[in-house]
Amino acid sequence: MAGGKETPRQRMIGMMYLVLTALLALNVTKEVVNAFVTINDKLDASAEIVNNKVGEDYRMFDQKRATLEAQKEDLTEFNMWNGKADTLELETRTLVSYLLTECSDMIEEAEGNSWVANDGTDEDGFVTKLKPLFDIEVKDNYDIPTQLFIGSNPMEPIERGNELTNRIHAYRDRVAIIMAAYTKDEKKYSFTPPTSAAGLSEALRSVHPEDSSRIAHFYHSLTVPETLYDSGEEKEVPWVSATFNHAPIVAAAAMFTSLKVDVKNAESIACEYLLSKVIAPIFVINKIEPMAFANSGYINQGDSLSLKVMIAAYDSTSVNKIRWGMDDDTLPERWTETQGGLNLDGAEVGFHKVKGAIGIKERGNTVWKPWEFDYTVGAPMGAISQPNMRLLYRGYNNEIEAAASGFPADKVSISASSGCSVSRGTNGKWIVKVGAGIRTATLTVRGQKEDGSVVTVASNTFEVKQLPKPEIFLGGIAGGQRPGCSSVRAQTRISLRYGEGIPLTGVNFNVISGFVSVEGLVGDGRINGNGALDDKAKQLLTQACGGKKVTITVKYVDPSGTQKNANPLIFTVR
Amino acid present at 540: L
- CB 237, CB 230: distance < 8 Å: yes
Cα 478 to Cα 311, 474, 531, 568, distances in angstroms? 57, 7, 15, 10
Q: Are 440 and 461 in contact (CB under 8 A)?
A: yes
- Answer yes or no: same fold for 381-465 and 471-572: yes
Domain ranges, ordered by start, for the chain: 51-276, 287-377, 381-465, 471-572
3-state DSSP call for residue 129?
Answer: coil
One-letter amino acid of 4: G
**Element housing 354 (H / E):** strand 350-362
Sign of the CA dihedral with 283 first, then 287, 292, and 294 last:
negative
pLDDT at 282: 59
Domain 471-572: which CATH number of 3.40.50, 3.30.1490, 1.10.3470, 2.60.40? 2.60.40
pLDDT of residue 449: 81
Q: Residue 27: its pLDDT value, please?
A: 47
- Which amino acid is it at 344? L
Q: Is the dihedral of CA 533, 537, 542, 545 positive or negative?
A: negative
Handedness of CA 197, 203, 205, 210 (dihedral sign): negative
Q: At what angle do helices 159-180 and 212-221 cross, to 10 degrees?
A: 170
SS3 68: helix
Q: Count Cβ neighbours within 10 Å for each residue of 115-130 and write b for 16 or more, e otherwise.
A: bbeeebeeeeebbbeb
Q: Dihedral sign, CA of 311, 316, 321, 326?
A: positive
DSSP state of 3: -
Distance CA 296, CA 291 (A): 15
In the three-class reduction of DSSP (H, G, I as helix; E, B as strand; rest coil), residue 111 is classed as: helix
- Separation between Cα atoms, residue 550 and residue 326, nearest integer Å: 77
CB 149 within 8 A of CB 244: yes
Find how far residue 158's CA is from the centre of its chain. Answer: 44
CA angle 191, 196, 202 (to 5 degrees): 45
From the number of C-beta atoms within 10 Å of its C-beta (0-12, 13-18, 19+), residue 104 rates as buried
Q: Which helix (H) or strand (E) holds 429?
A: strand 429-434
Q: Mind listing the pLDDT tens digit of every residue in the chain (574 residues)?
A: 544 556 665 666 566 655 665 555 444 556 667 788 888 899 999 999 999 999 999 999 988 888 888 778 889 999 999 999 999 999 999 999 999 999 999 999 999 999 999 999 999 999 999 999 999 999 889 899 999 999 999 999 999 999 999 999 999 999 999 999 999 999 999 999 999 999 999 999 999 999 999 999 999 999 999 998 877 777 899 999 999 998 899 999 999 999 999 999 999 999 999 999 998 765 556 666 777 666 555 554 445 667 777 776 666 656 778 888 888 888 888 888 888 677 777 777 667 788 888 887 665 567 788 888 877 776 565 556 555 557 899 889 988 887 777 677 778 889 999 999 999 888 878 999 998 889 999 999 988 887 788 888 888 889 999 889 999 999 999 998 999 999 999 999 999 999 888 888 889 999 999 999 999 999 999 999 889 999 999 999 999 998 899 999 999 999 888 899 999 999 999 8
Burial class (CB in 10 A: 0-12, 13-18, 19+), 221: buried
Instruction: Give the C-alpha separation, 181 to 77, whole Å.
Output: 13
Count CA atoms closer than 13 A to 383's CA, side-chain side: 5
**Is 375 within 8 Å of 450 (Cβ atoms)?**
no
Q: Which DSSP string do the residues of 485-542 spell out, in sequence order?
A: HHHHHT--BEEEE--TTS---S---EEEEEEEEETT-SS-EEE-TTSBB-HHHHHHHH
**Number of residues assigned to the chain:** 574
Q: Is 448 exposed, middle or buried (0-12, 13-18, 19+ CB in 10 A)?
A: middle
Give the strand pairing for 227-230 and 235-238.
antiparallel
* SS3 label, residue 556: strand
Are the C-beta atoms of residues 391 and 440 closer than 8 Å to each other? no
User: Parallel, antiparallel, or unpaired for β 381-385 and 440-448?
Assistant: unpaired
CATH placement of domain 381-465: 2.60.40.60
Burial 384-412 (b: 16+ CB within 10 A, else e): bebeeeeebbbbbbbbbebbbebbeeeeb
